[in-house]
Amino acid sequence: MSNQFPTLHIVDHPLVQHKLSVMRDKNTSVKDFRALVGEIAMLLTYEATRDLPMTTRTIETPICSYEAPVLAGKKLAIVPILRAGLGFEDGILTLVPSARVAHIGMYRDEETLEPHFYFLKYPKDIAGRDVLIVDPMLATGGSADMAITKMKELGCKNIKLMILVAAPEGVKFIYERHPDVDIYCAALDDHLNENGYIVPGLGDAGDRIFGTK
Ligand code: URA
């Protein structure tokens, strides 16, 4: 599906696309699915952190003095939406080990598809951090909207959303409510079905990560 959303960044890399196709296959094991979520999380993080500010530090190489490019030390917090967002956590922390982690708990009512908030634990200085909210599936956008709104209420200003598979309905919803939030994903799928599942999608991401079906 073509991307008509200004805030949506699709990471159209061969490794990402191949790994996602394996994940979509209903015969892929829980063990492989979980490993692949972690691998794609790292590849998406690579793109989502591309604009981190840089500075230089003078170092001595074995040959000479050198003004070496280093991260300027902008502080990051990742915010996995429980529970499927936990699948992204280790992969992101592998690349950004000093990031702080806030957890936000939401479950979606299977009848109404509305998100219900039940948990939030966050670092005290979160308002001063860049925030990366993570959840594998952007379906209606209700949970992501609630998570972004909570982070804004805490004073966070620079917020990004990192997703595995997005539905156009969810991207549109988030874009209309939060045009300041960039969204990074591996794929923009076709539509949501009558049960709120993304088509073609990969099924219930939480069940497939944790083996709870
Ligand atoms: N949540 C999922 O886990 N999968 C979908 O397809 C939609 C929402």
More confident residue, 191 or 111: 191
| pLDDT greater than 90 at residue 105 | yes
Q: What is the pTM of this model?
A: 0.94
192 CA distance to ligand 1 centroid (A)? Answer: 9
97 CA distance to ligand 1 centroid (A)? Answer: 28
The question of ipTM being above 0.85 is answered as yes
pLDDT of residue 96: 95
| Active-site residue, from 34, 108, 177, 182 | 108
Write the DSSP string, 90-154: HHHHHHSTT-EE-EEEEEE-TTT--EEEEEEE--TTGGGSEEEEE-SEESSSHHHHHHHHHHHHT
**Domains in the chain, ordered, with CATH?**
8-210 (3.40.50.2020)
| Residue 207 is among the residues annotated as catalytic for this protein | yes
204 CA distance to ligand 1 centroid (A)? Answer: 5
Mean pLDDT of the chain: 96
Q: Which band of pLDDT confidence, cut at 50, 70 and 90, is reported for residue 172?
A: very high
Distance CA 105, CA 122 (A): 12
Q: Which residues line ligand 1 (CB under 6 A)?
A: 84, 137, 139, 196-198, 201, 204-206
| pLDDT greater than 90 at residue 108 | no
